[in-house]
Chain A
């Protein structure tokens, strides 16, 4: 998967109209909450067959950090 596609998938799971970009801070995204966290876990499991812990996601500060969790599976 390309990074661009993953960004769209993350935007979609947030049901967000406005686009998102790598530099955005998670704390500044209105839709970022516990539901979003489990949605990301499911998204990664579905697409990359890897289960990320809530703890790891909680340590992410930006969208870039989120994407870095699966960096070895993403094309730029």
Chain B
């Protein structure tokens, strides 16, 4: 079990960027829902979907992360020479080769002394990325790590597939993790269940021809005009089951590891899978709803790796500007994988979500 405790790293700032283009679910009654008003109503009412921000065809993960990073670095007045590493967490990179972080390293004018690499992670990816960044500061003498987390899943969902298309939005975020002068405690736990790797999958697009020897979930191969193998497949029921069983345990675990109780925590920021999953996890945990923001998906869509920072920017950016707040962050999904951390945010540069 990957449990880590750190003392030297903290977050200095977070900026989240979303595309301008908005799609409203009400406008998809004919195109996605075959004029089935009842189905549309059920999705709005129970899942909590409404509208989402999605990229234009020329707009990419790197573009959104670049805009977020520029705002972050200028807002914090960071000397670029002091950035030791740039890391991009994404499942929708601009390029397989080179790492999209390399392109961003160039366009942000970062020095040769700054390492650049991508991490292939999705819904749990922000916490996986933070874990790496905190580790680099704790044990690899880095002073500043620029963590970018962004995804454009709207580009791989089939616009006719009502299982996924109305759910996903696009976003790019930038977080600066920096060395702290005083002791700054944080706690991480990361987990995975690779036997369920085909619960959420884009079967085709990389270098393996999709086949049923590897992908045992036969539903992945039930194709129609609504989905081909290059589109994203998600078993919504399985994901729901996984989330409401796994997440409450993960959050109780991190409370135990950090020696805190529910009442000590100011905010629980969950990956914004959708409002329904969040409310079910919150109820199972008996957490106060006020401490668990859940509006992100209805406003922006499920933003995969970007949803946790985007929720911080949207829902609690003013709260973390001065006073110290105790947070739990938790991501869960594709992999299947899940990751949870307890850390404190204090004097954070965090403007409202910006438009690209």
Contacts and interface: CB of A to CB of B under 8 A. Distances in A.
Q: For the complex, would chain B's binding face be called helix, strand, loop or mixed by DSSP majority?
A: helix
B280 A45 contact: yes
A23 B241 CA distance: 27
Interface residues of A, number: 21
List 5 tightest A-B contacts by C-beta distance, closest first. A54-B237, A38-B240, A37-B237, A34-B236, A15-B42
Contacts of B47: 35
A5 interface: no
Contact of B240 (A14, A16, A41): A41
A57 B237 CA distance: 10
A51 B43 contact: no
A9 to B, nearest CB: 13
Interface string A54-76: 10010000000000000000000
A44 to B, nearest CB: 11
Looking at chain A's contact residues, the main secondary structure is: helix
A38 B237 contact: yes
A45 B237 contact: no
Contacts of B276: 38, 42
Interface in B283-322: 283-284
A15 B163 contact: no
A31 B38 contact: yes
B244 interface: yes
14 contacts: A16-B38, A31-B38, A34-B236, A35-B236, A38-B240, A38-B276, A42-B276, A45-B244, A45-B280, A53-B241, A54-B238, A54-B240, A54-B241, A57-B237
B43 A35 contact: yes
B33 to A, nearest CB: 11
B339 to A, nearest CB: 22
A18 B270 CA distance: 37
Interface in B231-275: 235-238, 240-241, 244-245
A38 B45 CA distance: 13
B227 interface: no
B241 A51 contact: yes
Contact of B39 (A33, A39, A41): A33
Given A34-B237, A54-B241, A13 B280 contact: no
A2 interface: no
Contacts of A15: 38, 41-42, 45
A39 to B, nearest CB: 6
Interface string A1-30: 000000000000111100000000000001
Contacts of A35: 39, 42-43, 46-47, 236
